[in-house]
Each structure stands twice: as C-alpha cells, then as structure tokens.
C-alpha cells in the first residue's frame, strides 16, 4: 500500500483546484469531479490524475458512477482513501423570494444532496479496503451562524455539519469505520467572495462586511487555505471532532 487516493468535488477552481494541485504534487491518485474540468491541472511523475465532467445538480448518476469506478480499483494498493465534498453553488445574495426556484433547487442538490449520495457511494465501495478511509465535508461558519441574505447556503452547510455528526456516530460502530469531519475552511478569496462583496446592498445587508475583509487583506488565498485544510485531513486525530474549524486546528 504505497498510493493514496483522493476524490475532490468542485475542483475546477478556487479551494478545490488548489487541493487537487497540492495532492498531485504529493503523488496522490486524484479524481476530480466538476462541471468543467481544469485542463491546466497536470499529474507529475508518480501521481495519477483523472477528471470527470459531471453536474452535481444531478447527483444520483454521479454517485452511481463513483461507486462503480471505485469498485474497479484494487483497494489493497491504497494506504488511504479520502472523499472531499467541496462543491457548492451560491444563489444570488438576498431573500429567497427573489431567487428562481430552479436555482434554489440546484444549490440544495449540489451542496447537500450530492455530498450525502457521494458519501454513501464512497463508504460502500471502500468498505473492505484495508487502508484508512476519510470523509471530509467542506462546511462554513455560516452553517453555525445565520446571516441574512444567505438562507440557502446556511441551510446547506448546517445540514452538512449535522449529517457529519450522525455519520461519524454510525462509522464509529464499525471496526473499520471511516473518519468523518465537516470542516469550516476559513475565509477564502474565491468567486463566492467576489459575488458577496459585489451584491446589491439593498438586498444583502452584509455586503460591506465582505468588502472590508477584502480591502483589509483578511482573505486566505485558495492555495494557503488548501494547505490548511489538507493539514487537518492528514492529522493523526482526524475525526476526533466531527464538526471543526480550520482556524481552531
């Protein structure tokens, strides 16, 4: 068992892409899942990169494909296997009454339904693998503290947190259960931040707060945030706290 397997959703940009690039640099076998795979990602010698173009707003087919694909691999080759549920879809900041129902449905599917189905697929397919198994759900402080104008995102992240708590209890009952963590990664300079600080202040009262975070240089770069998140994933005590914040690590 010399190889490590890492599956990352939402890996075409931002935090997800940075995590994929760093894992490839470390020699992992990396599978990325995103609507538009990044053609600039490359695997150095000793690493393996596979990229799927998939819409996580239709998560059942993606989960089925993941379970089937994992079933083709020799689990004995991997010292560890990790699923990182990173993908999320932000609806326009503001009250949900102004959000098209289709956009709201897609955000809930990508942010919560997809991680649940992918977790199920990952856990079932790797149940007999001898190496360490880890499930990392990328959460947010907004899953723990409500904010006006962000109800769908708050709901998704709160759901991920509580799903992770319950799933961790289930896995603890298994002799070779996976370790599960829902991790808030800090405040990162991504497209989501651009959307928040560019929103209409009349419908998103927190706009100035996010503009000031950027102006004061208080946002982590995706690469810096990825390094912190992966350091948490690699900790020997990963899973000891199923709901965590990278800033407390």
153 is catalytic: yes
- Tokens representing 175? 């002799």
The CA distance from 224 to 188, in Å, is: 9
Phi/psi for 209 (5° steps) reads -60, -45
Tell me if 137 sits within 8 A of 116, measured CB to CB: no
Selecting among 153, 204, 210, 238, the annotated active-site residue is 153
End-to-end CA distance of the chain: 28
Tell me if 75 sits within 8 A of 81, measured CB to CB: yes
Print the SS3 string covering 114-159.
Answer: HHHHHHHHHHHHCCCCCCEEEEEEECCHHHCCCCCCCHHHHHHHHH
Within 10 angstroms of residue 141's Cβ, the number of other Cβ atoms is 15
The CA distance from 189 to 204, in Å, is: 19
Closest among 248, 147, 194 to 14, alpha carbons compared? 194
Task: Give, as one character, the DSSP assignment of residue 214.
Answer: H
H/E stretch holding 29 = strand 29-34
The CA distance from 18 to 84, in Å, is: 13
* Residues with catalytic function: 153
């Amino acid at each position: 068992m010399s190889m490590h397997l890492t599956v990352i959703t939402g890996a075409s940009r931002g935090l997800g892409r940075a995590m994929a690039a760093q894992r490839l640099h470390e020699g992992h076998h990396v599978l990325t899942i995103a609507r538009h795979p990044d053609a600039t990602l490359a695997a150095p010698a000793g690493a393996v990169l596979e990229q799927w173009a998939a819409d996580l707003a239709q998560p059942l087919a993606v989960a089925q494909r993941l379970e089937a694909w994992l079933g083709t691999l020799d689990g004995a080759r991997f010292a560890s296997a990790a699923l990182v549920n990173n993908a999320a879809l932000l609806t326009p900041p503001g009250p949900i009454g102004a959000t098209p129902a289709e956009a709201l449905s897609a955000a809930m599917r990508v942010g919560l339904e997809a991680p649940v189905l992918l977790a199920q697929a990952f856990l079932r397919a790797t149940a007999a693998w001898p190496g360490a198994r880890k499930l990392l759900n990328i959460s947010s402080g907004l899953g723990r503290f409500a904010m006006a104008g962000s109800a769908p995102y708050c709901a998704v992240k709160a759901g991920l947190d509580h799903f992770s708590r319950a799933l961790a209890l289930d896995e603890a009952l298994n002799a070779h259960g996976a370790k599960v963590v829902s991790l808030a990664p800090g405040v990162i300079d991504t497209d989501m931040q651009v959307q928040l600080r560019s929103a209409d202040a009349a419908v998103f009262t927190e706009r100035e707060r996010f503009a000031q975070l950027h102006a004061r240089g208080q946002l982590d770069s995706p690469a810096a945030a990825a390094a912190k998140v992966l350091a948490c994933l690699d900790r020997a005590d990963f899973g000891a706290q199923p709901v965590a914040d990278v800033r407390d690590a």
